[in-house]
Amino acid sequence: MTAPGGERRDDLPGTMLNSVVRPYLCAHLAGDYALDEEGRRRVLDANRAIDEVYAGGHDHRPDPWWTRMVEARLRLLPPARRDTLVDLGCGTGLLTIALMSAGGFRQCLSVDLSAAMLRALRAVLAREGVSGVRTARADVTRLPLADGSVDCVAGNSMLHHLPDVPAFLREVHRVLRPGGVLLLSHEPTVSAEALEGLFKRPAGRLLRAVRRVAGAGAAPVPAGPPAFTDLWVFDQARVRRVLEDAGFAQSRIAARGFLATPPCSFLDRVSWRLAGRLPPARLYGPLRDALDVLDDAVPRRVLSPDRFSSFAIAARKGDGPDAAPRPVPLESLLRCPRDRRPLRPVAGGLRNPRLRLTYPEDPQVGIDFDAPERD
């Protein structure tokens, strides 16, 4: 990942930011989980530049552990209807695939800012034979969707990358139908860094020692500021407040990973360093299952959710009973992200004649709402 330039400041608080980016972004805090314009620009540039190496590093084979996890998330606040799904910050499609199969949704728009991710996702969809999914390159705080058009907005491990969480939540609230549900998972809490570091730091030392013994020398240390992608660490009280401020009527937060986190983070680190990918699901799933059982036995009964390492967050849009309109094709729900007007299909893309903008469609990426062509 590329690292945009930035000055470093050590003298500021900012407990919402993780410790890596805090010295650089603290001066750009504009509110709870929100950066000022300069901070937003830096982070969006970093997220746009996520590269092919990362996009290639996920294991997409549907595995029972992940499917059970997704089903549990859907039970937090079950969507009133399972017609149209949106997977935001979809990456290479872990959640898209699980929700389209285990979740039973009819159609899905999978959105990401990175073309590399979307390219990899489309290859996985073709390989796994998943249908009903369209892909779009867009910033999730400017969604190319009509008001009240979606039954479920989901996102795995993406909220902490966004430079303006309140703006994102308002946008999600806009596109959800009454009774629709937002489901986010795997978001780091204020305790995540401490729990993950417990075994991960020794793992780093061990790997450096192995490199030395093998005569590989020290791994190159990246120069300059960090990639501004992982930003926030969340606490329950603030999350509930931003959800309420965005207009959500009901919310639930489930915490995961206390005893389970240190060994799993250790395995992640070793596997990324040695193989450039996450550990195989068949090894990882049973281990996490066993550790989850341990977490349920004691820590969950005695500790605050903020002491666990990650949150799943569910929130429902209120405003009355969920109507069950006739299912409509996804294309008819797409809108210009700038003025929210309907778009006209033209050769090679979708067009907003009023703004004289065309959003090109790349057969390997999807519709590019992030870089329109102007007449």
Ligand X SMILES: C[S@@+](CC[C@H](N)C(=O)[O-])C[C@H]1O[C@@H](n2cnc3c(N)ncnc32)[C@H](O)[C@@H]1O
Check residue 232 and report its DSSP letter: B
Strands 310-316 and 176-188: antiparallel
Sheet strands (E) in 149-263: 150-156, 176-188, 250-256
- Span from 61-69, 91-99, 256-264, 354-362 in contact with ligand X (CB under 6 A): 91-99
Exposed (0-12), middle (13-18) or buried (19+): which is 128, by Cβ within 10 Å? middle
151 contacts ligand X (rule: CB under 6 A): no
Give me the half-sphere count of Cα atoms (radius 13 Å) on the Cβ side of residue 113: 17
Residue environment code for 34-50, b if the CB has 16+ CB neighbours within 10 A, otherwise e:
bbeeebbebbbebbebb
In whole angstroms, how close is the CB of 345 to ligand X at the nearest point?
A: 23
In whole angstroms, how close is the CB of 365 to ligand X at the nearest point?
A: 12
- Span from 74-82, 88-96, 170-178, 212-220 in contact with ligand X (CB under 6 A): 88-96
Given 25, 94, 291, 357, the residue binding ligand X (CB under 6 A): 94
- Span from 106-114, 219-227, 298-306, 328-336 in contact with ligand X (CB under 6 A): 106-114
- Integer Cα distance of 306 and 84 in angstroms: 32
- Integer Cα distance of 316 and 324 in angstroms: 16
Binding mask 162-181 for ligand X (x = CB under 6 A): x-------------------
58 contacts ligand X (rule: CB under 6 A): yes
Given 32, 157, 204, 299, the residue binding ligand X (CB under 6 A): 157
- Span from 76-84, 107-115, 172-180, 239-247 in contact with ligand X (CB under 6 A): 107-115
CA distances for 374 relative to 350, 358, 367, angstroms: 12, 6, 15
Could you tell me which of 197, 177, 168 has the C-alpha nearest to residue 313? 168
In whole angstroms, how close is the CB of 112 to ligand X at the nearest point?
A: 5
251 contacts ligand X (rule: CB under 6 A): no
300 contacts ligand X (rule: CB under 6 A): no
Residue 139 or 368 having the CB closest to ligand X: 139
Tokens of 61: 């084979």
Given 16, 26, 29, 50, the residue binding ligand X (CB under 6 A): 50
Given 3, 90, 182, 336, the residue binding ligand X (CB under 6 A): 90
Strands 133-137 and 107-112: parallel
Return residues touching ligand X (CB under 6 A). 47, 50, 58, 89-92, 94-95, 111-114, 117, 139-140, 156-158, 161-162
